[in-house]
Amino acid sequence: MTARQSTERAVVAKRVDSGTAATTEIRELTRAAGYEIAGEITQTRTEDPAYHMGEGKIVRLSNVVAREEATVVIFDNQLGPYQTYNIGNKLPTGVRVIDRFRLIIEIFGQRAQTRKAQLQVELAELRYELPRAEAKASLAKRDERPGFMGLGEYDEGREEDIKKQIARINDELESIEETEQHRREQRRESGFDLVALAGYTNAGKSTLLRRLAADLDIDENEDRHPDLDTTAESEDRLFTTLGTTTRRAEVGKREVLVTDTVGFIQNLPHWLVESFKSTLDSVYRADLVLLVVDVSESVEEIREKLVTSHDTLYERNEAPIVTVLNKTDAVDDDEVDRKKAALSALAPNPVAVSAAEGTNVDRLSQRIDDELPDYEEERLVLPMTDDTMSLVSWIHDHANVESVDYGDEVVIEFEARPAIVEQSRARAGDLVGASA
């Protein structure tokens, strides 16, 4: 799926059971998909089974669409297949009706560059379509008339075909994940700690990634280290980074790989989260997770996002989680302190930073160093051979070497990740055995 060639005009719509219908996020999503917003209709009332909104409000929506010459209506709600059909019948001919989740899938499709991302989009589309196919099948058993209330002709094998495609994609995604997991283990064995950035869209994760890796000067047109994927952008857009973006950084004495992933968004159904769960595997399998939130938002918004993020992360994650209150440049110190206190139960001992200005990023780096697994100290006594020199060189590349004494034997003292220490001991044992 690619971005449309010309900008379409869209009217956004939202219904809530009570309170005020906030449209900030759906407007951002609409713009992220490449639409121009031509109007907005909201309503506070219980859901109408036939039209979602009241029929009178749908008539008003139709009038706005006609007046603004819009070609699409985007609901910040989940619409049933019959509701979509009924609303479409009230709108000018040719106007499309898209609900919130269909829009999100469309955005993902525009951003999907890798095979993994494309498979996840296809999986989400199939999971979106499956209940609609099931609705046609159910109606077909009761009504033999063609068309099924505008839902299209019933294909008897479509439901089963969708299920088979879902199974095929899951198998391919599992194979891709096995390859990526092997790569992560190779990185660990090479002495890297794995740090993952998580959080909602527009919290500033991509900017923070670049700030943490600011010591790197990467020319996008040059060959890159295999551990460096495409540099993350930091546009004020949702879903700029659909796939994962990994960059290398130095944190104290450590070599760290920091990975940014697609941002969370609110009110996603389980089937949609499930479609993109493999994107979060780099979070689940990290040594440390930085949960980035926008401190300029209200306490209520931050609290809701933290709760949802914790539900997602703690499902499979075993690594420690550090909350990062980003965008301190947008609020004063008193407000930051007030929000820290209000959120202390969900975010104990957070780190407040401004990724945009670099404020307190050094303090965050120190916190990362403190939270990551402790290094082990080791002292090896090795025979003086050519193979020993090769091992000493390898230890220099993968550990922090404190000292090396060369004499009749080589004595090397260093500290490193447990996996590196274990490998060093094994190789040292082989050298000692070979020289005996």
pLDDT in tens, 164-203: 999 998 888 888 878 877 776 766 666 678 888 888 878 8
Residue-wise pLDDT for 29-70, tens only, equals 899 889 999 999 999 999 999 999 999 999 999 999 999 999
SS3 204: coil
pLDDT confidence bin for 358, thresholds 50/70/90: very high
Q: Where exactly are the structural domains of the chain?
A: 9-108, 114-176, 191-371, 376-435
Q: Are 73 and 11 within 8 A, CB to CB? A: yes
3-class secondary structure for 332-368?
CHHHHHHHHHHCCCCCCCCEECECCCCECHHHHHHHH
Instruction: Give CA–CA dist 67/377, Å, rounded.
Output: 73
- Give the containing element (helix H, strand E) for 380: strand 376-383
Going across the sheet that includes 193-199, the strands are 245-251, 254-260, 193-199, 288-294, 321-326, 351-352
Please state whether beta strands 245-251 and 193-199 pair in parallel, antiparallel, or not at all (unpaired).
unpaired
- Give the containing element (helix H, strand E) for 77: none
Please state whether beta strands 254-260 and 400-406 pair in parallel, antiparallel, or not at all (unpaired).
unpaired
3-class secondary structure for 49-70?
CCCECCHHHHHHHHHHHHHHCC
Q: Are 305 and 263 within 8 A, CB to CB? A: no
Residue-wise pLDDT for 242-288, tens only, equals 456 788 888 877 878 888 876 776 666 666 666 666 566 667 778 89
Residue with tokens 């490998």: 423
Instruction: Give CA–CA dist 148/150, Å, rounded.
Output: 5
Burial of residue 336, with CB atoms counted within 10 A of its CB: 0-12 exposed, 13-18 middle, 19 or more buried: middle
For the question of whether the overall pTM of this predicted structure is more than 0.75, the answer is no
Torsions phi, psi of 144, nearest 5?
A: -90, 5
pLDDT, mean of residues 19-34 = 89
Burial of residue 229, with CB atoms counted within 10 A of its CB: 0-12 exposed, 13-18 middle, 19 or more buried: middle
Proportion of the chain above pLDDT 90, given as a percent: 34
Give the residue, 198 or 229, on which the prediction is more confident. 198
Query: 9-108 maps to which CATH number?
Result: 3.40.50.11060
Confirm whether 9-108 and 376-435 share one CATH topology.
Answer: no
Give the pLDDT score at 344.
93
Pick the CATH number of 376-435 from 3.30.70, 1.10.8, 1.20.1300, 2.60.120: 3.30.70
Query: 191-371 maps to which CATH number?
Result: 3.40.50.300
Handedness of CA 17, 21, 24, 28 (dihedral sign): positive
Q: Tell me the range of 183-192, 299-308, 346-355 where mean pLDDT is highest.
A: 346-355
Partnered with residue 44 across adjacent β-strands are 16
Q: Single out the residue of 124, 415, 429, 147 nearest to residue 279, CA to CA.
A: 124
Residue-wise pLDDT for 71-118, tens only, equals 999 999 989 888 988 999 999 999 999 998 889 888 877 777 678 778
Provide the total of helices (H) and of strands (E) in the chain, helices listed first: 14, 13
Instruction: Answer yes or no: is pLDDT of 218 > 50.
Output: no
Instruction: Give CA–CA dist 213/206, Å, rounded.
Output: 11
String of DSSP letters for 10-57:
EEEEEEESSS----HHHHHHHHHTTPEEEEEEEEESPPBTTTBS-HHH
Partnered with residue 14 across adjacent β-strands are 42
Residue 257 identity (one-letter amino acid): L
